[in-house]
């Protein structure tokens, strides 16, 4: 093969994937490791990569401790109730106590954060959200990461982590290929911080054809955070906790600013409020601890996002759709109207294009809402990801093994979507997690934990052959047929993705089956995935671009298998509105007030599942009560 092998050796900290988590890691690593070698490997161009590539109009996680607004434990309680109890409160507390400092760094670097003219504090959209002009959010944090890193390798698709051949279960770097030159890249590193993304496009999207790109989470979020770590044998947690978003129809434009700042609200097709009437029945499923509209009204405790989705789904199924966002009142104010448009242009331009194309004028009509296909990620209102150690001064023994944000593989750290159990981190929290992981990784090296790592030539050669196999396979069988993409020896990456999405949708609880699955469906789904795994060995890539798509598909596949295994394990319906276990239609705190933890054996592919205890932050007052 003509591709060169390029080895980058003696790396202390390798950042694999430089979105908000990875840029935070690279930036902070330089402070604690001024003499260390810090290298970034990024699939796209660091200036516009990751979920924040097109910008953001809000920072959704800011405590405002400086302004006397919230304490970290307040945010933990909020995330806890929103996720129906299933969060890692040690990690959340830790993120929340640091996140403000990240936001203030952004402002010092030049991010335009809106201010409340009366109080001088940041302009609040909601209790946790502040409003920014964040079109250049990503280029800004990329600049910080570039100032800290020794080298940035753009356009490297990292496919596998390297493992230490002298000590079991210790990371030794990563490998991948350059999506422009095709060259094979080997990064030998003492620690790896995975900042790669969660997964869009594993469940069949509602859109068809071109519109398949207009997924809610970026189409380049290929589940690589999970694919990389699962392959390395790291334990994962809460992978069943996929998220479904109630968003503007087709464009999936954000609704946060509309609800919180513009004070718009929803109604059914006939102009009626619909949410509250579904709550009594829903309360029987989840219990009063989780849904108590009266208490929520009195204390401003939020109604969990999934439960509000549930009401929307039920109302549509009852034949009173579509659901509308009532904008006609708020948009009469020209200032608010402008904010409504800016909000889209700042983070989901496509929604503005769609409204322009369909002549939606929110002043004169109330736009439609819908629930999206499910997504798997760990930084928005859901917490899938790796099972990571927490900080030593907060975490109970089951949650602590030496280094903050280190996975169960030694020297392998995570940030952002990669870390499980930390929902509601969003952009600022992901950046913060990267910083925390970087400090811990420096300490890990300084403590001498990364001594004596060796990587055999055999491992490097084996991965190389594996990476280029789709190109080889294509070359061997292409000329058996006249032309076209129908070949009995291989499928191409798009065909594979279509199969994965259909399978996950129909067996794993996607949008077309109303988010319902059960044990039987999941068993069939897992069986079909096993067969698909064989076909993935026969995937054909006609060029380097398709090779990229082939490896993205493999990462999405590993993510999907983990999602089905976890969904099968948790025999209850914990998050109605995200998904339903038809064979266990109730929330079951007696058996399932736990976090689910899995490990896929890298040799055999076998899954083992376990329950991990769920710890909550309890105040002295609560304890006394």
Partner 1 sequence: MPTFVYMTRCDGCGHCVDICPSDIMHIDPTLRRAYNIEPNMCWECYSCVKACPMDAIDVRGYADFAPLGHSVRVKRDEEKGVIAWRIKSRNGETDLNLLAPITTKPWGTAIPKLKDEAGPTQEARDSQLLFNEPKYIRMDDGDIHTLESAGLSMKSGVYY
State the nearest-atom distance from the C-beta of 435 to partner 1, in Å: 5
Q: Which is nearer to partner 1, 585 or 617 (CB)?
A: 617
> From residue 536 to residue 555, what is the string marking binding to partner 1 with x (rule CB under 8 A)?
---------x--x-------
> From residue 555 to residue 584, what is the string marking binding to partner 1 with x (rule CB under 8 A)?
------------------------------
What's the CA gap between 372 and 164, in Å, rounded? Answer: 41
* Three-class DSSP labels, 291-338: CCHHHHHHHCCCCCHHHHHHHHHHHHHHHHCCEEEECCCHHHCHHHHH
* Three-class DSSP labels, 424-450: CCHHHHHHHHHHHHHHHHHHHHHCCCC
In this structure, what DSSP letter does residue 280 have? H
State the nearest-atom distance from the C-beta of 48 to partner 1, in Å: 4
Dihedral (C-alpha) 353, 356, 359, 364: value to the nearest 10 degrees? 100
Q: Which is nearer to partner 1, 108 or 603 (CB)?
A: 108
Size of the site for partner 1 (CB under 8 A): 104
Q: Angle at Cα 385 formed by Cα 384 and Cα 389, nearest 5°? A: 125
Residues 123-182 that bind partner 1 (CB under 8 A): 133, 135-136, 140, 143-144, 147-148, 155, 179
Using the contact rule CB under 8 A, the part of the chain among 269-277, 344-352, 527-535, 553-561 near partner 1 is 344-352
**Binding-site member from 326, 345, 524, 585 for partner 1 (CB under 8 A):** 345
**Binding-site member from 8, 82, 240, 250 for partner 1 (CB under 8 A):** 250
In this structure, what DSSP letter does residue 205 have? P
**Binding-site member from 355, 413, 468, 579 for partner 1 (CB under 8 A):** 355
Q: Outline where DSSP puts E strands in 94-155.
A: 130-134, 151-153
Name the 3-class secondary structure at 572: coil
**Binding-site member from 166, 358, 512, 531 for partner 1 (CB under 8 A):** 358
Q: Which is nearer to partner 1, 42 or 275 (CB)?
A: 42
* Three-class DSSP labels, 212-264: HHCCCCCCCCECHHHHHHHHCCCCEECCCCCECCEEECCCCCCCHHHHHCCCC
State the nearest-atom distance from the C-beta of 534 to partner 1, in Å: 25
φ and ψ at residue 227, rounded to 5 degrees:
-55, -45
Q: Two tokens at 280? A: 């009594």
State the nearest-atom distance from the C-beta of 216 to partner 1, in Å: 10
State the nearest-atom distance from the C-beta of 136 to partner 1, in Å: 4
Using the contact rule CB under 8 A, the part of the chain among 90-98, 239-247, 316-324, 575-583 near partner 1 is 90-98
Q: Two tokens at 161? A: 């982590």
Q: Which is nearer to partner 1, 232 or 547 (CB)?
A: 547
Residues 49-68 that bind partner 1 (CB under 8 A): 49-50, 53-54, 65-66, 68
What's the CA gap between 434 and 620, in Å, rounded? Answer: 31
State the nearest-atom distance from the C-beta of 292 to partner 1, in Å: 10
State the nearest-atom distance from the C-beta of 604 to partner 1, in Å: 32
What's the CA gap between 25 and 22, in Å, rounded? Answer: 5
Q: Do 334 and 262 contact (CB within 8 A), yes or no?
A: no
Q: Which is nearer to partner 1, 590 or 603 (CB)?
A: 590
Residues 386-445 that bind partner 1 (CB under 8 A): 391, 393-396, 435-436, 439, 443
Residues 287-306 that bind partner 1 (CB under 8 A): 289-290
Q: Which is nearer to partner 1, 327 or 565 (CB)?
A: 327
Q: Which is nearer to partner 1, 44 or 228 (CB)?
A: 44
* Packing angle of the helix pair 305-315, 275-286 (nearest 10 deg): 120
**Binding-site member from 1, 7, 109, 119 for partner 1 (CB under 8 A):** 109
Position 97 contacts partner 1 (CB under 8 A): yes
Q: Two tokens at 20? A: 């908000």
What's the CA gap between 279 and 275, in Å, rounded? Answer: 7
Position 489 contacts partner 1 (CB under 8 A): no
Q: Two tokens at 556? A: 């999405």
State the nearest-atom distance from the C-beta of 276 to partner 1, in Å: 21
Q: Do 34 and 202 contact (CB within 8 A), yes or no?
A: no
Q: Which is nearer to partner 1, 226 or 290 (CB)?
A: 290
Using the contact rule CB under 8 A, the part of the chain among 187-195, 357-365, 411-419, 454-462 near partner 1 is 357-365
State the nearest-atom distance from the C-beta of 120 to partner 1, in Å: 14
State the nearest-atom distance from the C-beta of 317 to partner 1, in Å: 22
- Report the chain's terminal Cα–Cα distance, integer Å: 70
State the nearest-atom distance from the C-beta of 151 to partner 1, in Å: 14
Position 265 contacts partner 1 (CB under 8 A): no
State the nearest-atom distance from the C-beta of 52 to partner 1, in Å: 10
State the nearest-atom distance from the C-beta of 307 to partner 1, in Å: 15
φ and ψ at residue 472, rounded to 5 degrees:
-60, -45
Using the contact rule CB under 8 A, the part of the chain among 206-214, 230-238, 270-278, 320-328 near partner 1 is 206-214
Contacts of 99 (CB under 8 A, 6+ apart): 61, 62, 63, 425, 428, 429, 432
Residues 28-47 that bind partner 1 (CB under 8 A): 28, 30-32, 34, 44-45, 47
What's the CA gap between 553 and 501, in Å, rounded? Answer: 11
**Binding-site member from 90, 315, 417, 505 for partner 1 (CB under 8 A):** 90
Residues 457-476 that bind partner 1 (CB under 8 A): none
Name the 3-class secondary structure at 206: coil
What's the CA gap between 405 and 234, in Å, rounded? Answer: 12
What's the CA gap between 561 and 508, in Å, rounded? Answer: 10
**Binding-site member from 3, 6, 104, 469 for partner 1 (CB under 8 A):** 104
Q: Two tokens at 416? A: 């952002």
**Binding-site member from 16, 23, 27, 517 for partner 1 (CB under 8 A):** 27
What's the CA gap between 138 and 155, in Å, rounded? Answer: 16
> From residue 580 to residue 599, what is the string marking binding to partner 1 with x (rule CB under 8 A)?
---------x---x------
């Amino acid at each position: 093969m003509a591709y060169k092998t390029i080895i980058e050796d003696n790396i202390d900290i390798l950042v694999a994937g430089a979105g908000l988590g990875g840029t935070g890691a690279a930036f902070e690593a330089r402070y604690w490791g001024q003499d260390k070698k810090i290298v970034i490997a990024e699939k796209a161009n660091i200036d516009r990569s990751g979920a924040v590539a097109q910008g953001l109009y809000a920072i959704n996680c800011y405590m405002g401790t400086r302004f006397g607004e919230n304490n970290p434990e307040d945010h933990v309680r909020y995330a806890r109730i929103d996720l129906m109890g299933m969060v890692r409160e040690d990690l959340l507390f830790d993120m929340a106590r640091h996140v403000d400092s990240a936001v203030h760094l952004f402002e010092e670097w030049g991010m335009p954060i809106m201010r409340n003219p009366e109080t001088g504090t940041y302009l609040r959209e909601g209790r946790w959200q502040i409003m920014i002009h964040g079109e250049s959010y990503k280029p800004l944090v990329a600049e910080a990461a570039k100032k800290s890193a020794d080298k940035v390798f753009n356009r490297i698709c990292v496919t596998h982590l390297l493992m230490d051949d002298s000590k079991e279960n210790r990371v030794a770097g990563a490998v991948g290929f350059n999506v422009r030159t095709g060259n094979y890249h080997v990064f030998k590193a003492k620690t790896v911080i995975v900042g790669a993304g969660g997964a869009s496009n594993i469940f069949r999207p509602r859109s068809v054809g071109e519109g398949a790109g207009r997924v809610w989470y970026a189409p380049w979020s290929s589940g690589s955070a999970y694919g990389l770590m699962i392959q390395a044998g790291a334990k994962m947690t809460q992978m069943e906790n996929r998220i479904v978003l109630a968003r503007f129809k087709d464009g999936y434009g954000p609704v946060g600013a509309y609800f919180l700042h513009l004070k718009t609200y929803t109604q059914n097709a006939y102009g009626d409020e619909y949410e509250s009437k579904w709550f009594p029945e829903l309360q029987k499923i989840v219990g009063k601890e989780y849904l108590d509209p009266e208490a929520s009204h009195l204390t401003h405790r939020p109604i969990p996002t999934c439960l509000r989705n549930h009401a929307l789904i039920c109302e549509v199924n009852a034949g009173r759709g579509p659901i509308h966002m009532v904008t006609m009142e708020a948009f009469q104010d020209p200032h608010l109207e402008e904010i409504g448009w800016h909000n889209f242009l700042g983070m989901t331009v496509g929604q503005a294009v769609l409204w322009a194309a369909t002549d939606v004028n929110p002043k004169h009509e109330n736009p439609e809402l819908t629930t999206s296909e499910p997504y798997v990620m760990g930084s928005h209102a859901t917490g899938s990801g790796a099972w990571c150690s927490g900080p030593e001064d907060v975490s109970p023994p089951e949650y602590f093994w030496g280094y903050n944000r280190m996975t169960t593989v030694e020297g392998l750290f995570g940030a952002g979507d990669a870390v499980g159990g930390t929902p509601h981190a969003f952009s600022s929290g992901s950046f913060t997690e990267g910083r925390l992981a970087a400090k811990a990784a420096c300490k890990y090296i300084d403590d001498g934990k990364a001594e004596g790592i060796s990587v055999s030539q055999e491992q490097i050669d084996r991965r190389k052959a594996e990476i280029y196999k789709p190109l080889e396979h294509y070359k061997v069988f292409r000329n058996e047929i006249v032309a076209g993409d129908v070949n009995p020896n291989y499928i191409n990456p798009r065909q594979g993705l279509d199969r994965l999405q259909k399978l996950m949708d129909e067996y794993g609880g996607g949008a077309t089956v109303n988010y319902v699955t059960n044990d039987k469906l999941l068993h069939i789904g897992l069986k079909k995935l096993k067969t698909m795994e064989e076909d993935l060995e026969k995937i054909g890539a006609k060029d380097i671009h398709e090779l990229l798509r082939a490896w993205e598909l493999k990462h999405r596949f590993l993510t999907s298998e983990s999602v089905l295994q976890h969904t099968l394990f948790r025999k209850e319906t914990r998050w109605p509105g995200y998904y339903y276990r038809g064979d266990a239609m109730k929330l079951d705190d007696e058996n399932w007030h736990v976090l689910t933890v899995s490990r896929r054996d890298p040799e055999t592919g076998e899954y083992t599942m376990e329950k991990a205890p769920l710890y909550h932050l309890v105040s002295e007052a609560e304890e006394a009560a």
